[in-house]
Amino acid sequence: MESTETLVCGLVAEARAGIWKKGPIRKHEGSKRKMITKAPKGTQDLVPGKSENWQAMERVFQTEAELHGFGEVRTPVFEHTELFLRGVGDTTDVVEKQMYTFADKGGRSITLRPEGTAGAVRAMLENGLFNAGYPVKLYYSIPCYRYEKPQAGRLREFRTFGVEEFGAGEPVADAQLIAMALSAFARLGLDDVGVQLNSIGCPTCRKAYHQALKDYFTAHVDDLCDTCRSRLDRNPMRILDCKSPVCQQIAQGAPKITDYLCEDCRAHFEQVQHFLTVLGIEYTLDPGLVRGLDYYTRTVFEFPSKRLGFALGGGGRYDGLVEEIGGQPTPALGFGLGLDRIMLALEEKGTAFPKAERCQVYIASMGDAALEKALLLVEELHRCGVAADMDLCGRGLKAQMKYADRVGAKYTLVIGDNELTAGRADLKDMQTGEKKSVSLGEHFIDDYLGAQGVLEDMSF
CA distance 171 to 333: 10
**Are both 56 and 189 inside the same structural domain?**
yes
Same-domain pairing of 74 and 193: yes
Residue 217 is assigned to a structural domain of this protein: no
CB–CB of 281/182 below 8 Å?
Answer: yes
Distance CA 356, CA 351 (A): 15
Q: List, for the chain, all residue ranges whose pLDDT scores fall below the cut of 70.
A: 1-31, 90-91, 292, 452-460
In a domain, 230, yes or no: no
- Give me the CATH number covering residue 56: 3.30.930.10
| Single pTM value for the model | 0.83
Residues recorded for the chain = 460
3-state helix, strand, coil in the chain (%, to 5): 40, 20, 40
How far apart are alpha carbons 90 and 108 in whole angstroms?
A: 18
pLDDT at res. 78: 96
Considering the domain architecture, whether residues 5 and 82 belong to the same structural domain is answered as no
Q: How many domains does the chain have?
A: 3
Q: What angle do CA 367, 373, 377 make, to 5 degrees?
A: 140
Instruction: Based on the fold, state whether residues 182 and 147 are members of the same structural domain.
Output: yes
CA 159 – CA 366 distance, rounded (Å): 46
Boundary-marking domain end, from 317, 349, 381:
349
Q: Are residue 79 and residue 14 in the same domain, yes or no?
A: no
Residue 277 shares a structural domain with residue 314:
yes
| Residue-number span of the structural domain to which 18 is assigned | 1-38
Q: What is the pLDDT of residues 310-327, one digit of tens each?
A: 899 999 999 999 999 999
Looking at the domain assignment, is residue 216 inside a domain?
no
Give the residue among 380, 350, 338 at the shortest CA–CA distance from 152: 338
Instruction: Say if residues 349 and 323 touch (Cβ distance below 8 Å).
Output: no
Q: pLDDT tens for residues 398-440? A: 999 999 999 999 999 999 999 999 999 999 999 999 999 999 9
The torsion angle over the Cα atoms of residues 416, 421, 426 and 427, rounded to 10 degrees, is 80
The CATH number of whichever domain residue 421 belongs to comes to 3.40.50.800
459 occurs within a structural domain: no
Check residue 7 and give its pLDDT: 43
- Nearest 5°: the CA angle 105, 107, 111 is 90
Q: Is residue 238 in a domain?
A: no
pLDDT of residue 90: 66
pLDDT at 289 (0 to 100): 87
Neighbouring C-beta atoms of residue 65, cutoff 10 Å: 23
Eight-state DSSP code of residue 305: B
60 domain-assigned: yes
In terms of domains, do 119 and 156 share one? yes
Residue 91's pLDDT is 65
Position 45 in a domain = no
- Residues 96, 130 share a domain: yes
- The answer to the question of residue 223 being in a domain is no
Q: Among 349, 377, 401, where does a domain finish? A: 349
Task: Note whether 324 and 419 are same-domain residues.
Answer: no
Q: Are residues 268 and 365 in the same domain?
A: no
- Give yes or no: residues 70 and 27 share one domain: no
* Nearest residue to 349 via CA among 389, 312, 320: 312
Are residues 267 and 143 located together in one domain of the fold? yes
Single residue among 316, 349, 382 that ends a domain in this structure: 349
